[in-house]
Amino acid sequence: MVTNPLDYVEPFGKAGASGFTFHIEAARENWNELIQKIKAKGMKPGVSLKPGTPIEEVYPLVEGENHVDLVLVMTVEPGFGGQKFMPEMMDKVRKLRQKYPSLDIEVDGGLGPSTIDAAASAGANCIVAGSSVFGAPEPAQVISLMRNRVEGVKAAW
């Protein structure tokens, strides 16, 4: 999370990034301008929200004419890896999936083999996993397991 995401759009675009996700908490005053600049640089815009932020705050960013392509629900407080997954955040994921069936919904924080089913069944189709993958003896197996679990429940959404 950065305090002024507008400052990073240009360098990320020049570096070849395909997407740019910003925290709603850092862009409440200028999210429309931010989305326009992200798209102008050829990147897909996404918005993230911290656990304490109501899900309704992102609805205008998904529904607007100049909309985001992804919503990232933080399942830990941003800042450092290895935190415990917050299962109560799955209510936000479920609400998003019900309201926006084709939206990319990402979850980040505490995801691994023991938490992937909760995230996938709630409607998350994009998973960020750090510690559970890089700390595993066989990272490829963890990635495969999580990918298969998400793919296995997509039809139920």
Report how far Cα 53 is from the mean position of its chain's Cα atoms: 14
Residues 6 or more apart whose CB falls under 8 angstroms from that of 141 comprise none
pLDDT at 154 over 90: no
Task: Band the pLDDT of 139: cuts 50, 70, 90.
Answer: very high
**Whether pLDDT at 27 is above 80:** yes
Q: What stretch of H or E contains 71?
A: strand 70-74
139: CB partners within 8 A, 6+ apart: 133
Q: What is the pLDDT of residues 74-106, one digit of tens each?
A: 999 887 777 799 999 999 999 999 999 999 999
Confidence of residue 52 (pLDDT cuts 50, 70, 90): very high
